[in-house]
Chains A and B, each alone.
Chain A
Amino acid sequence: MTEILATVIFLFSLFFLLGSSVWVGLSLIGVAWIGIELFTSRPAGDAMITTIWTGASSWTLTALPLFIWMGEILYRTRLSEDMFKGLSPWMRWLPGGLLHTNIAGCTLFAAVSGSSAATLTTVGKMSIPELRKRGYPEYMIIGTLAGAATLGLMIPPSLTLIVYGVSINESITKLFMAGVIPGLILSLLFMLYIVFWYFYFPNERPGAEKSIGIKQMITESKFLLPILALVIIVIGSMYFGWATATEAAAVGVVGALTLAFSQGSLTWKTFSNSLMGATRTSAMIALILMGAAFLSLSMGFTGLPRALANYIDGLNLSPIVLIASLTIFYIILGMFLDGISSVVLTMAIVEPMIRQAGIDVIWFGIFVVVVVEMAQVTPPIGFNLFVLQGMTKHEISYIAKTAIPMVALMVLMVIILVIWPELATWLPDTIRQRGN
Chain B
Amino acid sequence: MSDWSKFIGLPLWFWLFILPTLISLICLFLQNKIEIIFKPIWKILDKIYFFSGIIAAISMCLILLIIIAQMVTRWTGIIFEGSTEFAGYAMASTSFFALAYALSKGAHIRVSIFLNLNSFTKKWLDIFALFISSIIATFFARYAIKTNFMSEMLNDRTQGQDQIPEAIVYILEMFITSPTNWISMWSNYEGKWIFTPVWIPQLPMSIGTILLAICLWDHLSRLLITNKSEIKSDIVK
Cβ-closest chain A residue relative to B198: A53
**B3: min CB distance to chain A, Å:** 6
Query: In the bound complex, do residue A283 and residue B132 qualify as a contact, i.e. CB atoms below 8 Å apart?
Result: no
Query: In the bound complex, do residue A56 and residue B91 qualify as a contact, i.e. CB atoms below 8 Å apart?
Result: yes
Per the 8 Å Cβ criterion, residues 22-62 of A in contact with B are 22-27, 29-30, 33, 43, 45-46, 48-50, 52-53, 56-59, 61-62
**Most chain B CB neighbours (cut-off 10 Å) among A23, A253, A290, A338:** A23
**B233: min CB distance to chain A, Å:** 9
**A327: min CB distance to chain B, Å:** 21
Chain A residues whose CB sits within 8 angstroms of the CB of B67 once the complex forms: 62, 66, 246-247, 249-250
Any B CB within 8 A of the CB of A232:
no
Query: In the bound complex, do residue A337 and residue B111 qualify as a contact, i.e. CB atoms below 8 Å apart?
Result: yes
Query: In the bound complex, do residue B108 and residue A287 qualify as a contact, i.e. CB atoms below 8 Å apart?
Result: yes
Given contacts A17-B132, A386-B236, contact A279 B88 (CB under 8 A): no
Chain A residues whose CB sits within 8 angstroms of the CB of B133 once the complex forms: 22-23, 26
Cβ-closest chain A residue relative to B115: A21
Chain B residues whose CB sits within 8 angstroms of the CB of A399 once the complex forms: none
Chain B residues whose CB sits within 8 angstroms of the CB of A29 once the complex forms: 136, 139-140
**B99: min CB distance to chain A, Å:** 6
**B22: min CB distance to chain A, Å:** 21
Given contacts A29-B136, A49-B144, A279-B56, contact A19 B114 (CB under 8 A): yes
Chain B residues whose CB sits within 8 angstroms of the CB of A336 once the complex forms: 111, 113
Given contacts A58-B88, A381-B113, contact A48 B126 (CB under 8 A): no
Query: In the bound complex, do residue A59 and residue B136 qualify as a contact, i.e. CB atoms below 8 Å apart?
Result: no
The 8 Å CB contact of B146, one of A17, A33, A45, A58, is A45
The 8 Å CB contact of B57, one of A61, A250, A276, is A276
Stretch at the interface among B31-39, B58-66, B166-174, B180-188: B58-66
A82 vs B164: C-alpha distance when bound (angstroms): 46
Query: In the bound complex, do residue B101 and residue A279 qualify as a contact, i.e. CB atoms below 8 Å apart?
Result: yes
Dominant SS among interface residues on chain A: helix
Cβ-closest chain A residue relative to B60: A65
Chain B residues whose CB sits within 8 angstroms of the CB of A49 once the complex forms: 143-144, 146-147, 205
A30 vs B162: C-alpha distance when bound (angstroms): 34
Chain B residues whose CB sits within 8 angstroms of the CB of A337 once the complex forms: 111
**A128: min CB distance to chain B, Å:** 14
Any B CB within 8 A of the CB of A117:
yes
Any B CB within 8 A of the CB of A389:
yes
**Most chain A CB neighbours (cut-off 10 Å) among B56, B92, B94, B140:** B140
Cβ-closest chain B residue relative to A121: B237
Chain A residues whose CB sits within 8 angstroms of the CB of B60 once the complex forms: 65-66, 69, 275, 278-279, 282
Query: In the bound complex, do residue B98 and residue A247 qualify as a contact, i.e. CB atoms below 8 Å apart?
Result: no
The 8 Å CB contact of A22, one of B88, B92, B95, B129, is B129
Given contacts A276-B53, A387-B235, A390-B236, contact A21 B99 (CB under 8 A): no
Q: A-B contact count, CB below 8 Å?
A: 187
Cβ-closest chain B residue relative to A64: B91
Any B CB within 8 A of the CB of A20:
yes
A59 vs B159: C-alpha distance when bound (angstroms): 13
Cβ-closest chain A residue relative to B100: A283
Given contacts A21-B111, A45-B3, contact A59 B61 (CB under 8 A): no
Given contacts A243-B71, A254-B68, A390-B236, contact A283 B110 (CB under 8 A): no
Given contacts A49-B147, A66-B63, contact A21 B110 (CB under 8 A): yes
Any A CB within 8 A of the CB of B70:
yes
A343 vs B94: C-alpha distance when bound (angstroms): 22
Query: In the bound complex, do residue A46 and residue B92 qualify as a contact, i.e. CB atoms below 8 Å apart?
Result: no
**B200: min CB distance to chain A, Å:** 12
Any B CB within 8 A of the CB of A258:
no
The 8 Å CB contact of B147, one of A53, A284, A286, is A53
Any A CB within 8 A of the CB of B45:
no
Query: In the bound complex, do residue A280 and residue B111 qualify as a contact, i.e. CB atoms below 8 Å apart?
Result: no
Any A CB within 8 A of the CB of B105:
yes
Any B CB within 8 A of the CB of A409:
no
Cβ-closest chain B residue relative to A43: B3
Query: In the bound complex, do residue A338 and residue B109 qualify as a contact, i.e. CB atoms below 8 Å apart?
Result: yes
Any B CB within 8 A of the CB of A18:
yes
B residues adjacent to A (C-beta < 8 A): 3, 53-54, 56-57, 60-61, 63-64, 67-68, 70-71, 84-85, 87-92, 94-96, 98-99, 101-103, 105, 107-115, 125-126, 128-129, 132-133, 136-137, 139-140, 142-144, 146-147, 201-202, 205, 235-237
Q: Identify the 7 closest CB pairs spanning chains A and B, nearest first.
A: A45-B143, A283-B98, A390-B236, A286-B95, A280-B107, A283-B102, A57-B92
A-B contact pairs, 28 of them (CB 8 A): A17-B132, A19-B114, A20-B114, A21-B110, A21-B112, A21-B126, A26-B140, A33-B136, A46-B143, A48-B140, A57-B201, A62-B67, A62-B91, A66-B64, A246-B87, A247-B70, A247-B71, A275-B60, A280-B107, A282-B95, A282-B98, A283-B98, A284-B108, A286-B95, A286-B99, A287-B95, A288-B109, A381-B111
**17 more CB-based (< 8 A) A-B contacts, given A29-B140, A49-B205, A381-B112:** A19-B111, A21-B111, A29-B139, A33-B139, A57-B89, A61-B91, A62-B87, A66-B63, A254-B64, A272-B57, A276-B53, A279-B60, A280-B53, A287-B102, A336-B113, A338-B109, A381-B111
